[in-house]
């Protein structure tokens, strides 16, 4: 276990936030209880008071982040002011992982993307065949840890899908490896000649591109709480709108690509398995007679989008809680917009959040006075600038 502390150095001006690596700990018991005992042991050995902790952050393992018996919960039981903050970018990674595994079609899609890369990447000669046909992005392998990097793989295939298909067919002609020829032909005449696969490329490109943009912003140096919450709220709004309009828009884009590749833009009708029903079981006629497009929408598109919405709302509820406590201090425009009563309520809310055993880190009355003075001074300075401009 790696132990790192972050502290606020108020001994100098300006105040600095310092971060220190303390030590590695050899851990035998990896349960929440065992890891928490290790954490307490480290703090005790370094003469650090556990009640001075004001934040904790771990990965998303259940033994660390568990709401009931994880390390963060055990620390909060002792010190309620040790706020737990999950890594937002890692949470996005896990959301993508859940989305990609939420549907058989999704798993098959990414499997095909990886197969396309593997066919060419396992040989320099085959890679040169690919380079003879493409002049843009090269194919990328899928990463099992950085899921937002999937956008590189999907984008490379989508932007030159026709040329990649030609390269695969060329491999079938020139390769002496029977298995390779069979794999290349299967991909060229199978997935890359299938409208549903082309449509999946468009859908995943839309989704991955938007998530990747948010992920990069969350990792920027100037990121703070209120901006992070806005980014995630915008991502939720994107998926809500994409759920309604995304499929129709993706079909339009996919049809253009399919027509250029001389692929018939239709959904394949697959044989439906008949399951024996019990005597008291009624059939779902509406589902049984649904069109192939409707099957694609309900069994694939809506599954991944609804999974994303569910994961986003549950994983980032903690950020929204912190926004309700500290948010008024992060945005100057919002702070100025608050009237006296609203500002007072925000200060009292912050005092209560930082209170333990009738002792709080913040005095609401003093904080309110300081903010009012700061806001009043800011208004005076603005007025002075306007008067000076008028005189000039």
Q: Tell me the H-state helices in 101-160.
A: 104-121, 124-133, 150-159
- Looking at the fold, whether 63 and 138 belong to one and the same domain comes out as no
With respect to residue 106, please indicate whether it lies within any of the assigned structural domains: yes
With respect to residue 279, please indicate whether it lies within any of the assigned structural domains: no
Three-class SS state of 21: strand
Please tell me the distance from the alpha carbon of residue 35 to that of residue 58, in angstroms, as a whole number: 12
Helix (H) or strand (E) holding 6: strand 2-9
- Looking at the fold, whether 96 and 80 belong to one and the same domain comes out as no
pLDDT tens-digit readout, 155-176? 999 999 999 999 999 999 988 8
Q: Is the separation of the CB atoms in 53 and 82 below 8 Å?
A: yes
- Looking at the fold, whether 256 and 147 belong to one and the same domain comes out as yes
| pTM for this prediction | 0.80
192 burial type by CB count under 10 A (0-12 exposed, 13-18 middle, 19+ buried): buried
- Looking at the fold, whether 248 and 337 belong to one and the same domain comes out as no
With respect to residue 336, please indicate whether it lies within any of the assigned structural domains: yes
- Looking at the fold, whether 107 and 72 belong to one and the same domain comes out as no
- Looking at the fold, whether 68 and 109 belong to one and the same domain comes out as no
Please tell me the distance from the alpha carbon of residue 356 to that of residue 376, in angstroms, as a whole number: 32
- Looking at the fold, whether 299 and 213 belong to one and the same domain comes out as yes
- Of 62, 84, 106, the last residue of a domain is 84
pLDDT tens-digit readout, 126-153? 999 999 998 878 888 887 777 767 888 9
Beta bridge partners of 260: none
Q: Is the separation of the CB atoms in 179 and 251 below 8 Å?
A: no
- Looking at the fold, whether 371 and 302 belong to one and the same domain comes out as no
pLDDT tens-digit readout, 189-213? 999 999 999 999 999 999 999 988 8
- Of 84, 109, 124, the last residue of a domain is 84
| Predicted confidence pLDDT, tens digits, the chain (392 residues) | 888 999 888 888 889 999 999 889 888 888 989 999 999 999 999 899 999 999 988 877 788 888 888 898 999 999 999 998 877 777 888 888 888 888 889 999 999 999 999 999 988 999 999 999 988 788 888 877 777 678 889 999 999 999 999 999 999 998 888 888 899 999 999 999 999 999 999 999 999 999 888 888 888 887 887 888 888 889 999 999 999 999 999 999 999 999 999 999 888 776 665 556 665 555 555 555 678 888 899 989 999 999 999 988 887 888 888 888 888 888 778 888 888 899 999 999 999 999 988 888 999 999 999 998 888 776 555 555 455 555 55
Where do we find the tokens 């990414």? Answer: 110
- Looking at the fold, whether 71 and 137 belong to one and the same domain comes out as no
With respect to residue 264, please indicate whether it lies within any of the assigned structural domains: yes
Task: Tell me the two tokens of residue 334.
Answer: 């919002």
pLDDT tens-digit readout, 23-35? 898 888 889 899 9
Please tell me the distance from the alpha carbon of residue 60 to that of residue 50, in angstroms, as a whole number: 22
Note the pLDDT of residue 254: 94
Query: Looking at 10-79, which runs of residues are DSSP E strands?
Result: 16-24, 55-56
Task: Tell me the two tokens of residue 317.
Answer: 């509820």
- Looking at the fold, whether 250 and 207 belong to one and the same domain comes out as yes
- The count of domains in the chain is 3
- Of 84, 119, 146, the last residue of a domain is 84
327 burial type by CB count under 10 A (0-12 exposed, 13-18 middle, 19+ buried): middle
Task: Tell me the two tokens of residue 277.
Answer: 């029903």
Write the DSSP symbol of residue 360: E
- Looking at the fold, whether 22 and 145 belong to one and the same domain comes out as no
With respect to residue 294, please indicate whether it lies within any of the assigned structural domains: yes
**Mutual orientation of helices 302-315 and 195-218 as an angle, nearest 10°?**
10
Task: Tell me the two tokens of residue 350.
Answer: 């912050």
- Looking at the fold, whether 307 and 339 belong to one and the same domain comes out as no
With respect to residue 379, please indicate whether it lies within any of the assigned structural domains: yes
With respect to residue 320, please indicate whether it lies within any of the assigned structural domains: no
With respect to residue 321, please indicate whether it lies within any of the assigned structural domains: no
Helix (H) or strand (E) holding 83: strand 83-84
Pairing, β 16-24 against β 2-9: antiparallel
Please tell me the distance from the alpha carbon of residue 51 to that of residue 149, in angstroms, as a whole number: 40
For residue 62, give every residue at least 6 positions away whose Cβ sits within 8 Å of its Cβ, in sequence order, or none: 70
Which range marks the domain in which residue 341 is found? 331-391
């Amino acid at each position: 276990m790696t132990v790192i502390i972050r502290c606020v150095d108020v001994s100098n001006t300006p105040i600095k936030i310092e971060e220190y690596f303390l030590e590695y700990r050899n851990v035998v018991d990896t349960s929440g209880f065992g890891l928490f005992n290790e954490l307490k042991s480290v703090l005790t050995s370094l003469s650090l008071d556990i009640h001075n902790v004001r934040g904790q952050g771990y990965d998303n393992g259940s033994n660390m982040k568990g709401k009931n018996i994880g390390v963060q919960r055990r620390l909060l039981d002792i010190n309620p002011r040790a706020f737990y903050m999950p890594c937002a970018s890692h949470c996005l990674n896990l959301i993508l992982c859940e989305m990609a595994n939420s549907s058989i079609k999704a798993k098959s899609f990414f499997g095909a993307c990886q197969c396309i890369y593997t066919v060419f990447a396992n040989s320099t000669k085959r890679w040169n065949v690919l380079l003879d046909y493409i002049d843009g992005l090269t194919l990328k392998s899928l990463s099992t840890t950085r899921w937002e990097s999937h956008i590189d793989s999907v984008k490379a295939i989508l932007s030159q899908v026709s040329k990649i298909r030609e390269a695969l067919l060329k491999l079938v002609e020139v390769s002496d490896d029977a298995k390779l020829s069979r794999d290349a032909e299967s991909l060229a005449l199978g997935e890359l000649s299938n409208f549903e696969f082309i449509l999946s490329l468009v859908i995943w490109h839309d989704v991955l591109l938007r998530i990747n943009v948010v992920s990069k912003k969350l990792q920027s140096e100037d990121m703070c709480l209120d901006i992070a919450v806005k980014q995630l709220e915008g991502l939720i709004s994107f998926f809500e709108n994409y759920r309604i309009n995304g499929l129709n828009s993706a079909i339009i884009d996919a049809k253009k690509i399919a027509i250029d590749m001389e692929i018939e833009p239709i959904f394949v009708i697959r044989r439906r398995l008949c399951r024996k029903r019990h005597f008291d079981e009624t059939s779902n006629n509406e589902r049984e007679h649904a069109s192939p497009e409707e099957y694609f929408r309900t069994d694939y598109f809506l599954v991944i989008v609804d999974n994303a919405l569910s994961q986003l709302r549950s994983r980032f509820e903690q950020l929204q809680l912190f926004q309700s406590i500290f948010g008024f201090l992060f945005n100057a425009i919002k702070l100025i917009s608050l009237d006296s009563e609203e500002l007072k309520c925000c200060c009292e809310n912050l005092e209560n959040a930082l209170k333990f055993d009738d002792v709080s880190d913040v005095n609401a009355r003093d904080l309110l006075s300081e903010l009012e003075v700061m806001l009043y001074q800011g208004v005076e300075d603005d007025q002075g600038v306007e008067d000076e401009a008028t005189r000039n």
